[in-house]
Amino acid sequence: MTTKNTPLEKPPTETEPVAEEKHEETPFEAVASICSVLVVGLFILTFLAQNFVIPSGSMEKTLLVGDHLVVDRISLAPPSKWMPLVHYREPKRGDIVVFIKPGTIDSDGKPTILFLVKRLIGVPGDHIHLHNGVVYINGQEHPFPYAKTTDETNFTPFLDEFPSIPPIGNGDPNTGTPDAWANEFPSHIVDGDLVVPEGKFFMMGDNRHDSLDSRYWGFVPRENVMGRPLFNYWSFVTPEHQYDETGVGSNVAWMAHVALHFFTDTRWKRTLHLTR
């Protein structure tokens, strides 16, 4: 009898699922992730956008005390070769602008940085004067309808007939007309108009009678322009000069007030309100 060799059949094998190996984040990786987020956020806040809080009523009713703005720091910045794809443009008449107040000094007589927000009224070469509170630029009336109007109750000759009455220096650029501007002022007057020099801008607040602006302390250099507000991301009912308080007790009390009245005192209708 002969036997026939047949190949042995291999027993069927089941494919065992490969267990996924879970990788737990190490403390070092967690710190690195947080640092990455902080670096990106710091870059955005330093070079692209910045938070700005309105501390005074000089721009009412356009901007209110307690408005929190996102400021575009790119489009009005001097053009940069390392960001060639970014759209740059020069500040133009009518822009709301955030800038560094020129010639600001502290109580010790040292230069300091003070950020302001005003409306750009005059560009280099413009001839400006005000009559009865109405702005005239190069001989043409520019009413600026968003600005607070002048009437018999708030008429002030120095402000509303500018520059017919020369400023008088008081040596304090933080509270009034600095001596430097009072001395420089006559050299910019031509036929009753104030002429904006090259590389400078003339700024005014929309609340014309409650605004320390270029009428008091002079022109803003181009390099002082920091950006323009884009929109209001949060607005909270805030007393005038609240942000001037520096004491720890005052700040703690204000933080508690915000926490208790967040929903009732937030101006919800101004949330994401575009700045114009």
Distance CA 128, CA 49 (A): 32
* Listed range (83-92, 127-136, 251-260) with the worst mean pLDDT: 83-92
Task: Please give the pLDDT value at position 17.
Answer: 55
- Of 4-13, 18-27, 214-223, the range with the highest mean pLDDT is 214-223
Q: What is the pLDDT of residue 99?
A: 94
Q: Is the pLDDT at 42 greater than 60, yes or no? A: no
Q: What is the pLDDT of residues 111-147, one digit of tens each?
A: 688 899 999 999 999 999 999 999 999 999 998 888 8
Average pLDDT, the chain: 83
Q: Residue 40's pLDDT band (boundaries 50, 70, 90)?
A: very low
Could you tell me how many residues make up the chain? 276
Residue 44's pLDDT band, with cuts at 50, 70 and 90, is very low
Give alpha helix (H) positions in the chain: 27-43, 157-160, 179-184, 214-217, 248-260, 262-265
Q: Is the pLDDT of residue 41 over 60?
A: no
DSSP code for 148: P
Per-residue pLDDT averaged across 165-189, rounded?
A: 84
pLDDT at 151 over 80: yes
Give 231 or 18, the one with higher predicted confidence. 231
Residue-wise pLDDT for 19-28, tens only, equals: 555 556 676 6
Query: Which CATH architecture does the domain made up of 47-274 adopt?
Result: Ribbon (2.10)
Mode of pairing for the β-strands spanning 115-122 and 67-72: unpaired
